[in-house]
């Protein structure tokens, strides 16, 4: 019986204990290899939420949408599918690090990732960790980090998985995943495409979303070879190609478009000997963009940057209770653009980490990192964390860290306005987490405090030319909380609830005013109820009001969104599902950037098959 239940859970994408599980529970997937092993081993005192691939299947592929409905991260989106930047725990867009298989991929140009240029279909797992992480992940891990992972397993199999989704505004989401493993070889291939005319109506006859169409394609190959039980070679290679037309506020505006392409390659050799584990990595990452300020013209402005990364990671299990780890990394980057002369920079970093188990219930870790570069003054970064399980009911966690965000190519080298004398933004932060567990319910409540100094801001200087300066100081504090509940109500009936609530005060330390486009409150949740072959689901989101002016003279009101879905298992054994979803069921009008209306009620149908 139990086995059957587990099967159903997996089969119907209800493996939700993973949706918000503690970091240590990620190891449930013990046959699955992740490149980003630090996330499991060095997150003591922090909360890691893992979005399983089955959950990713249920949502639209744009990473903005996936995270918006499943995590406390707030997004500022210039209309559906357009430029989207995160605010994680009240921080700025370049203060969320995006980690691809353990490698930081924030743009060299603006220090951010546009979350609408990531197709979540390319990944097997997405994890989100709140709070600082620069010691392990480097620049930008201030508000938190988002981890895009491809997994590999050597368990013998051959699986094809196909998802097709079609909906309003001629929106297509197609994903194909092939996994195979034989003897010492393993292959994981993902191909996805997402496209949309995106020509939705604005509320109240304000017009139509013109010039908003987009497409993106991504392909990811993960190939592994196991020499023996202690030596594995792995290659992950990914290409992303996207084109977006940026939507207009008024029909008379110039029509623009933006093409971006990224190449990410990682070669990794894992080996173990006596009590040592070493991982050697070589990575090559390239980002390219082209911006057409007027699509009537063929001319464009551009930026290209490539990074060559060599990383060596040596872990030593000194005893059953003590794990020590040293990581050295060299990153060489060269970039150029229309307004950026060719520049290169080299950053060498060294980090040491240690984790100690005082007992099964009490563990702690510390970490230190220092970078050497002639590009900026690099501060010493540190982190420490501890967790203690008082009882089955209650655990207490603590984490504190110093983190940074380094100046970007735009900040340093933008023609006639870049400022080569910038320092990194630094953040000192601490958090206390409480975990409560009763039967099938797990709930977490985290208090955090974060002080960010030397924030880089572009301000008008002499002659009206905007230049970046280390200017602002921001003070952030708030709470993040979650609740996960899973209950089998009767035979073949399972209820599954996940809720998040966050309250964030993020204010300019001088004016004591909340930063613009940073809501005080965000609530979201997912409720699934599986009855026999049917699974109705409800997803909701509330974003509180945001100020749009630094003097708080204007604001966007909060909004509430509801999505409902229903899926039907055509073939239970092979996990074939047919589903339908209604987004923005209440047809609420909303925008999260001023003058950028989002769509009203819209629909999609999907088919999910495995063979």
Q: Which residues bind another protein (CB under 8 A)?
A: 249-254, 293-294, 297, 299-301, 338-339, 459-464, 516, 548-551, 553-555, 593-595
Instruction: Please name the helix (run of DSSP H) or strand (run of DSSP E) that holds residue 7, with its range, or none.
Output: helix 2-11
Nearer to another protein, 36 or 472 (CB): 472
Residue with tokens 């249920």: 58
Reading phi first (left if > 0) and then psi (alpha if -120 to 50, else beta), residue 379 is in beta
Reading phi first (left if > 0) and then psi (alpha if -120 to 50, else beta), residue 374 is in alpha
Q: Transcribe 165-233 into DSSP letters.
A: EEEGGGEEEEEEEEEEEETTEEEEEEEEEEEE---PBPGGG--B-TT--EEEEEEEEEEEEEEETTEEE
Residue 586 CB, shortest distance to another protein, in Å, is 20
Residue 523 CB, shortest distance to another protein, in Å, is 23
Contacts of residue 475, defined as CB under 8 A and 6 or more positions apart, other chains included, come to: 450, 451, 452, 506, 507, 509
Phi, psi of 379 (to 5 degrees): -80, 160
Nearer to another protein, 418 or 565 (CB): 418
Residue 457 CB, shortest distance to another protein, in Å, is 8
Query: Would you state the structure tokens that stand for residue 309, as one six-digit string?
Result: 């990364």
Residue 594 CB, shortest distance to another protein, in Å, is 5
Nearer to another protein, 275 or 299 (CB): 299
Nearer to another protein, 295 or 601 (CB): 295
Q: Are residues 286 and 304 in contact, defined by beta-carbon separation less than 8 angstroms?
A: yes
Q: What angle do CA 467, 113, 543 make, to 5 degrees?
A: 100
Q: What angle do CA 418, 421, 426 make, to 5 degrees?
A: 105
Taking the C-alpha atoms of residue 406 and residue 400, their distance in angstroms, rounded to an integer, is: 20
Query: How many CA atoms does the CB half-sphere of 46 hold within 13 Å?
Result: 31
Residue 241 CB, shortest distance to another protein, in Å, is 21
Nearer to another protein, 464 or 491 (CB): 464
Residue 551 CB, shortest distance to another protein, in Å, is 4
Residue 550 CB, shortest distance to another protein, in Å, is 4
Residue 95 CB, shortest distance to another protein, in Å, is 18
Residue 25 CB, shortest distance to another protein, in Å, is 42
Residue 202 CB, shortest distance to another protein, in Å, is 13
Taking the C-alpha atoms of residue 417 and residue 459, their distance in angstroms, rounded to an integer, is: 10
Residue 463 CB, shortest distance to another protein, in Å, is 5
Nearer to another protein, 252 or 319 (CB): 252
Contacts of residue 373, defined as CB under 8 A and 6 or more positions apart, other chains included, come to: 345, 346, 347, 348
Residue 83 CB, shortest distance to another protein, in Å, is 12
Nearer to another protein, 320 or 462 (CB): 462
Residue 254 CB, shortest distance to another protein, in Å, is 6
Nearer to another protein, 420 or 461 (CB): 461
Q: Are residues 77 and 592 in contact, defined by beta-carbon separation less than 8 angstroms?
A: yes
Residue 295 CB, shortest distance to another protein, in Å, is 10
Nearer to another protein, 78 or 486 (CB): 78
Task: Catalogue the E-assigned strands of 247-361.
Answer: 256-273, 276-292, 301-317, 322-337, 340-357
Phi, psi of 183 (to 5 degrees): 50, -115
Nearer to another protein, 2 or 464 (CB): 464
Q: How many CB atoms lie within 10 A of CB 255?
A: 16
Nearest alpha-carbon partner for 536 in 568, 499, 570: 568
Q: Could you give the C-alpha distances from 77 to 31, 262, 595, in angstroms and in order?
A: 38, 21, 11
Nearer to another protein, 30 or 204 (CB): 204
Task: Catalogue the E-assigned strands of 24-83.
Answer: 48-51, 74-77
H-type helices in 261-319, by residue range?
Answer: none
Burial class from Cβ neighbours inside 10 Å (0-12, 13-18, 19+) for residue 377 reads: exposed
Contacts of residue 61, defined as CB under 8 A and 6 or more positions apart, other chains included, come to: 119, 120, 121, 173, 175, 192, 194
């Amino acid at each position: 019986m139990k086995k059957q239940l587990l099967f159903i859970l997996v089969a119907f994408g209800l493996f939700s204990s993973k949706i918000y599980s503690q970091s240590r529970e990620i190891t449930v997937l013990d046959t699955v290899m992740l490149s980003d092993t630090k996330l499991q081993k060095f997150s003591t005192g922090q909360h890691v939420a893992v979005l399983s691939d089955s959950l990713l299947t249920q949502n639209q592929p744009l990473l903005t949408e996936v995270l918006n409905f499943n995590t406390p991260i707030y997004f500022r989106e210039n209309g559906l599918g357009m430029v989207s930047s995160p605010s994680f725990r009240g921080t700025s867009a370049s203060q969320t690090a995006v980690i691809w298989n353990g490698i930081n991929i924030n743009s060299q140009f603006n220090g951010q990732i546009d979350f609408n240029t990531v197709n979540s279909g390319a990944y097997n797992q997405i994890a989100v960790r709140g709070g600082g992480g620069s010691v392990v992940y480097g620049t930008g891990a201030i508000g938190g980090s988002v981890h895009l992972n491809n997994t590999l397993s050597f368990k013998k199999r051959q699986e094809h998985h196909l998802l097709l989704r079609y909906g309003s505004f001629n929106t297509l989401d197609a994903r194909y995943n092939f996994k195979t493993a034989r003897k010492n070889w393993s292959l994981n291939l993902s191909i996805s495409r997402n496209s949309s005319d995106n020509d939705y109506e604005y509320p109240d006859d304000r017009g139509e979303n013109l010039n908003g169409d987009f497409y993106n394609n991504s392909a990811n190959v993960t190939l592994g070879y196991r020499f023996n039980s202690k030596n594995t070679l792995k290659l992950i290679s990914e290409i992303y190609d996207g084109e977006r037309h940026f939507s207009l506020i008024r029909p008379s505006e110039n029509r623009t478009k933006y093409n971006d392409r990224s190449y990410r390659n990682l070669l990794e050799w894992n080996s173990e000997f006596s009590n040592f584990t070493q991982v050697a990595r070589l990575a090559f990452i390239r980002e390219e963009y082209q911006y057409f300020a007027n699509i009537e013209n063929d001319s464009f402005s551009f930026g290209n940057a490539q990074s060559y990364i060599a990383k060596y990671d040596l872990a030593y299990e000194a005893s059953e209770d003590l794990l020590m780890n040293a990581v050295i990394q060299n990153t060489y980057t060269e970039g150029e653009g229309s307004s950026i002369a060719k520049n290169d920079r080299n950053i060498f970093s060294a980090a040491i980490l240690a984790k100690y188990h005082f007992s099964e219930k009490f563990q702690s870790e510390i970490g230190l990192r220092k970078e050497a570069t002639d590009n900026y003054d690099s501060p010493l970064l540190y982190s420490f964390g501890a967790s203690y399980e008082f009882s089955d009911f209650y655990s207490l966690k603590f984490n504190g860290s110093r983190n940074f965000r380094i100046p970007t190519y735009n900040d340093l080298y933008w023609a006639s306005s870049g400022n080569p004398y910038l320092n990194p933004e630094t953040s000192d932060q601490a958090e206390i987490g409480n975990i409560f567990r009763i039967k099938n319910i797990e709930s977490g409540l985290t208090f955090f405090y974060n002080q960010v100094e030397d924030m880089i801001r572009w301000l008008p200087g002499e002659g009206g030319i905007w230049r970046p300066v280390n200017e602002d100081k921001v003070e952030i504090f708030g709470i993040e909380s979650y609740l996960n509940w899973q209950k089998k109500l009767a035979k073949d009936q399972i209820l599954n609830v996940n809720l998040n609530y966050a309250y964030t005060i993020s204010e300019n330390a001088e004016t004591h005013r909340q930063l613009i486009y940073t809501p005080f409150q965000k609530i979201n949740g997912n409720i699934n109820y599986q009855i026999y072959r049917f699974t109705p689901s409800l997803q909701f989101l509330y974003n509180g009001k945001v100020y749009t002016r630094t003097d708080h003279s204007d604001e966007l009101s909060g909004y509430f969104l509801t999505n409902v879905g229903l899926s039907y298992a055509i073939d239970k054994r092979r996990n074939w599902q047919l589903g339908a979803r209604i987004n923005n069921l209440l047809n609420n009008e909303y925008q999260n950037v001023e003058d950028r209306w989002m769509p009203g009620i819209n629909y999609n149908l999907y088919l999910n098959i495995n063979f």
